[in-house]
């Protein structure tokens, strides 16, 4: 980090173990949404910088020790990086709160510990022998067969703005645990905690040069160059479904592996026997956490017709007490949205919902917070009278907007829940656990929470059905997604006789 002429911190690109300027020296501002003004500058990388980063990564993979470093050594390094973040927790939490606008209560108690935990879980997974048994084989002759797992190579990782540090941790932990090398591209709104992570990596001195590289810059330029680059072996992307489609297209030219974690329109299904006190706060936590800017937010609340009015009244009463305010105030429940562009998009969806015939039960407008008049604040908003075929109920809004949709019976609830192009998450609220599990099994989504929301464990697979993505992150599956499987076959006969498969073309010697 340097200080620019107006005394704001400025960050360069991190390539081949060094902090360097973009090829053309360009910089771009990074905003602090609550204040509506820049809080830092970062290098504005370009395709030429991706070339440099991929070359460094390629060299680290093809000629360096990293892919052959023993798993216990990689585990030690991941723990050391986790320690490095922990030692700077307060700083990371403050930067995350200022740059994204989320309350510091949330960045301190969710983003930081969970990012650290993620690195630690993958450190442990790195140590674990991913043993894949093969059946005994003596056809056509006696042999020993085993599966060798090795790193894929250069991994391009493109992350969104909604959980900046957590997304960086989710991406780098499994890649490093398995011996891959990385070019990370953070979102342009929120690159700062990923840059702090790069500082931690640099200061640790533990990773060989070129194993971890970070390039900031516009997605349309830097992200596209990374996804298309012939020197990149795998792309891992989290963000919108629209950009996800583009990533697949770009990756197809060189048949890169892709994992995509995309959008959602996840249902929160309140079953008729639910504990309504629990479900009220749970549904609100499901949708409004992180200002509604979560891919697996529970944006559609499905309620039995008979409970609709009473449950809506509870939701409204609890929403009324939420405090919008300064992200750095520990009393704040909801900060500003990430940007004015996002605010405008949320406003457009609210106007659209009203045109489609839905009604506002609470919220629906910009909010002004004294002292933060330039911040893109939006009231927590609940729509009622929503039909599931409205665009309001079908499209990802990415702001604090809940749609309440009534249903007649559980069969209809499941049908509505699945009537979406997405399939990322779902919540089921019920006292009857076997009944809730039955519903969970019929929901076409990658994660279903029973009586909770947003619990994404580093040890459990996470990802989307349908257009919410491809592949899984986290746990053993997430780790294997960073490996190539190699079958090694060892002949145990060691003699010419008995090789019937050779005899089909070569007569045995007399």
The residues binding ligand NAP (CB under 6 A) are: 158-162, 185, 187-188, 218-220, 223-224, 227, 238-240, 243, 246-247, 262-263, 295, 396, 398
Q: What is the DSSP letter of 323?
A: P
Distance CA 113, CA 304 (A): 37
Q: Could you give the 3-state DSSP secondary structure of residue 136?
A: coil
Q: Per the structure block, which two tokens stand in for 40?
A: 């830092």
**Smallest gap, in angstroms, from Cβ of residue 275 to ligand NAP?**
30
**Smallest gap, in angstroms, from Cβ of residue 224 to ligand NAP?**
4
* Radius of gyration of the chain from its Cα atoms, rounded to whole angstroms: 25
Q: β-pairing, 381-384 with 359-362? A: antiparallel
Conformation bin of residue 145: beta by default, left when phi > 0, alpha when psi is -120 to 50: beta
CB atoms within 10 A of CB 505: 6
**Smallest gap, in angstroms, from Cβ of residue 261 to ligand NAP?**
6
Nearer to ligand NAP, 50 or 301 (CB): 50
Nearer to ligand NAP, 84 or 174 (CB): 174
Q: Per the structure block, which two tokens stand in for 460?
A: 């459990």
Which residues are 401's β-sheet partners? 381
**Smallest gap, in angstroms, from Cβ of residue 263 to ligand NAP?**
5
Sequence length of the chain is 510
Nearer to ligand NAP, 159 or 428 (CB): 159
* Backbone torsions φ then ψ of 368, nearest 5 degrees: -115, 130
**Smallest gap, in angstroms, from Cβ of residue 237 to ligand NAP?**
7
Catalytically annotated residue among 261, 296, 379, 473: 261
**Smallest gap, in angstroms, from Cβ of residue 424 to ligand NAP?**
7
Nearer to ligand NAP, 188 or 384 (CB): 188
Cis, peptide link before residue 115, omega less than 30° from 0: no
Which residues are 449's β-sheet partners? 427
Nearer to ligand NAP, 261 or 326 (CB): 261
Distance CA 423, CA 469 (A): 8
Catalytic annotation on 96?
Answer: no
**Smallest gap, in angstroms, from Cβ of residue 148 to ligand NAP?**
32
Task: Report which of 424, 478, 476, 480 is spatially closest to residue 453, judged by C-alpha positions.
Answer: 424
Long-range contacts of 110-114 (CB under 8 A, 24+ apart): 111/163, 111/165, 111/166, 112/85, 112/86, 112/165, 114/166, 114/169, 114/458
Catalytic annotation on 261?
Answer: yes
Nearer to ligand NAP, 30 or 324 (CB): 30
Nearer to ligand NAP, 12 or 185 (CB): 185
Distance CA 95, CA 40 (A): 10
10 Å CB burial of residue 288 (0-12, 13-18, 19+) is: buried
- Please report which helix (H) or strand (E) contains residue 386, including its range: none
Catalytically annotated residue among 96, 295, 296, 396: 295
Query: Could you list the active site residues?
Result: 261, 295
């Amino acid at each position: 980090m340097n200080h620019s002429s107006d005394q704001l911190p400025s960050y360069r690109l991190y390539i081949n173990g060094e902090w360097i300027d973009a090829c053309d020296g360009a910089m771009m501002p990074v905003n602090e949404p609550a204040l509506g003004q820049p809080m830092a500058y970062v290098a504005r990388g370009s395709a030429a910088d991706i070339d440099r980063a991929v070359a460094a990564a390629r060299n680290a993979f093809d000629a360096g020790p990293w892919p052959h470093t023993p798993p216990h050594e990689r585990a030690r390094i991941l723990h050391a990086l986790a320690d490095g973040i922990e030692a700077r927790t307060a700083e990371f939490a403050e930067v995350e709160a200022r740059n994204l606008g989320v309350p510091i209560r949330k960045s301190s108690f969710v983003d930081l510990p969970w990012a650290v935990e993620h690195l630690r879980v993958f450190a442990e997974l790195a140590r674990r022998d991913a043993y894949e048994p093969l059946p005994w084989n003596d056809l056509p002759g006696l042999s020993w067969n085993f599966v060798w797992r090795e790193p894929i190579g250069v991994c391009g990782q493109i992350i969104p703005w909604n959980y900046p540090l957590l997304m960086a941790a989710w991406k780098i932990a499994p890649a490093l645990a398995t011996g891959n090398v990385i070019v990370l591209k953070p979102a342009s709104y929120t690159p700062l905690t990923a840059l702090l992570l790069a500082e931690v990596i640099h200061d640790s001195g533990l990773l060989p040069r070129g194993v971890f590289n970070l390039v900031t810059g516009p997605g349309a330029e830097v992200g596209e160059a990374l996804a298309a680059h012939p020197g990149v072996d795998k792309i891992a992307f989290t963000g919108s479904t629209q950009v996800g489609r583009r990533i697949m297209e770009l990756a197809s030219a060189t048949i890169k592996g892709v994992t995509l974690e995309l959008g959602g329109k996840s249902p929160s299904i309140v079953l008729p026997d639910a504990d309504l006190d629990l479900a009220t706060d749970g549904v609100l936590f499901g949708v409004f956490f992180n200002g509604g800017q979560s891919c697996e937010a529970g944006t559609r609340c499905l309620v039995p017709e008979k409970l609709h009015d009473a449950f809506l009244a509870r939701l409204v009463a609890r929403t009324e007490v939420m405090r919008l305010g300064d992200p750095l105030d520990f009393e704040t429940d909801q900060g500003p949205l990430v940007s004015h562009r996002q605010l405008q998009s949320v406003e457009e969806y609210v106007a659209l919902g009203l045109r489609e015939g839905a009604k506002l039960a609470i919220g629906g407008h910009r909010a002004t917070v004294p002292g933060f008049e330039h911040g893109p604040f939006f009231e927590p908003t609940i729509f009622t009278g929503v039909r599931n075929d409205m665009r309001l109920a079908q499209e990802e809004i990415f702001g604090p907007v809940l749609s309440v949709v009534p249903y007649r019976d559980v069969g209809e609830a499941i049908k509505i829940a699945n009537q979406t192009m997405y399939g990322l998450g779902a919540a089921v609220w019920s006292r009857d656990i076997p009944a809730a599990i039955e519903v969970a099994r019929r929901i076409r989504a990658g994660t279903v929470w029973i009586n909770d929301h947003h619990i994404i464990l580093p040890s459990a697979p996470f990802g989307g059905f349908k257009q919410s993505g491809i592949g899984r992150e986290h746990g053993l599956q997430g780790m294997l997604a960073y490996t190539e499987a190699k079958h090694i076959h060892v002949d145990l006969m060691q003699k010419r006789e008995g090789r019937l498969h050779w005899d089909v073309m070569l007569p045995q010697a007399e």
